[in-house]
């Protein structure tokens, strides 16, 4: 192990974020605000680790959260409900932080420790590579981005506009976003993150968080939300109502989000996590982006992976969930999703 030792972080969020902003390989999931969001929305115990040099300055960080519920069990994840996280720092520090996390997990008898990284890390832990993200490099002007799209794609973006669909951005879109999101997740058979989670994101991230809704006839029919960080915009959540799918409001949501990112000088647009070969994966690739494999490093004794609503054993529950009223799944979902990181 490195001469540097990993210890619980006892500094300020500003110190943490200064280090994250300067470190190679950082993602928005390394921002201290996510720990505050998760603590505020779910009351999970946050266990951020760090390494410091002899001068006392930060040399590495690891955001870590304990997720423990009676139904699903006991996990440690960096970062839960998100795609990335993991130890951040030079190679020796990264190893020291991972070793410290394994030590905590072993001491506390967790079922699984999962360190979610946006790229390969110098760790001896096994890595699951069942997820990817899709990233598109953005030109300096949205006009160049538009002109670079295939004509078929531009036609699909224009269609919802011709049908009177309008996209609005702003913190006032959080609640309509969640109405679409909760309905969409019910239709997929998956518990939704609660409204209080997204309110906390809007509060903690300020202008770096964005929420968008596509409106038709006075009601939201599609929605997206994400975070800006270090020249990259990621759309983390996107949803659309099935009954308006022929109008393709999701196409307009994605385009407006990309247009917004380009106009703000972002260098990259991240389409978010997906499963290779899935319909979502194909949808994201059509915009011309490139695949980026994700590496989720794992250590555990009682589970091969963190819980997922799509695990084979939940087939019947998913079918029942799809038939429940949306207000009920929305209310129950916030309680269930707490243990599904």
Tens digits of per-residue pLDDT, 107-123?
A: 999 999 999 999 999 99
The three-state secondary structure class of 314 is helix
Once rounded to an integer, what is the mean pLDDT over residues 127-140? 95
How distant, in Å, are the alpha carbons of 137, 147, 252, 256, 263 from that of 144? Answer: 12, 5, 17, 14, 11
How distant, in Å, are the alpha carbons of 104, 105, 107 from that of 47? Answer: 10, 11, 14
Contact between 167 and 225 (Cβ < 8 Å): no
Domains of the chain: 6-128+295-307 (3.40.630.30), 132-293 (3.40.630.30)
Please, what's the b/e burial string for 187-210 (b: 16 or more CB within 10 A of its CB; e: otherwise)? eebbbbbbbebbbbbbebbeeebb
DSSP string for 83-95: S----BSSHHHHH
> What pLDDT is attached to residue 2?
45
Residue 3 has pLDDT above 60, yes or no: no
Tens digits of per-residue pLDDT, 49-59?
A: 999 999 999 99
- pTM, full prediction: 0.95
């Amino acid at each position: 192990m490195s001469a540097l030792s990993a210890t619980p972080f006892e500094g300020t969020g500003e110190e943490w974020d200064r280090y994250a902003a300067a470190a190679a390989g950082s993602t928005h999931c390394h921002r201290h605000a996510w720990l505050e969001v998760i603590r505020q929305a779910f009351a999970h115990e946050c266990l951020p680790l760090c390494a410091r040099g002899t001068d006392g300055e930060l040399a590495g960080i690891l955001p870590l959260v304990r997720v423990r519920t009676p139904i699903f069990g006991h996990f440690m994840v960096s970062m839960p409900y998100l795609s990335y996280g993991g130890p951040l720092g030079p190679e020796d520090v990264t190893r020291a932080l991972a070793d410290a996390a394994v030590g905590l997990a072993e001491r506390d008898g967790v079922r699984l420790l999962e360190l979610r990284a946006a790229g390969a890390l110098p760790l001896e832990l096994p890595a699951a590579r069942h997820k990817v993200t899709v990233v598109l490099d953005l030109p300096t002007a949205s006009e160049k981005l538009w002109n670079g799209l295939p004509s078929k794609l531009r036609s699909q973006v224009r269609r919802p506009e011709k049908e009177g669909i309008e996209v609005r951005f702003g913190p006032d879109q959080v609640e309509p976003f969640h109405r679409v999101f909760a309905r969409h997740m019910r239709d997929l058979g998956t518990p939704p993150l609660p409204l209080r989670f997204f309110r906390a994101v809007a509060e903690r991230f300020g202008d770096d968080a964005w929420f968008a809704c596509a409106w038709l006839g006075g009601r939201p029919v599609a929605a997206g939300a994400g975070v800006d960080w270090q020249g990259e915009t990621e759309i983390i959540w996107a949803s659309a109502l099935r009954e308006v799918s022929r109008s393709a409001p999701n196409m307009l949501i994605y385009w407006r989000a990309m247009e917004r990112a380009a106009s703000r000088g972002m260098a990259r647009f991240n389409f978010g996590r997906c499963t290779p070969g899935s319909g979502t994966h194909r949808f994201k690739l059509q915009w011309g982006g490139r695949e980026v494999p994700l590496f989720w490093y794992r250590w555990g004794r009682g589970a091969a992976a963190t819980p997922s609503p799509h695990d084979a054993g939940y087939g019947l529950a998913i079918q029942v969930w799809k038939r429940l009223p949306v207000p009920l799944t929305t209310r129950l979902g916030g309680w269930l999703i707490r243990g599904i990181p």
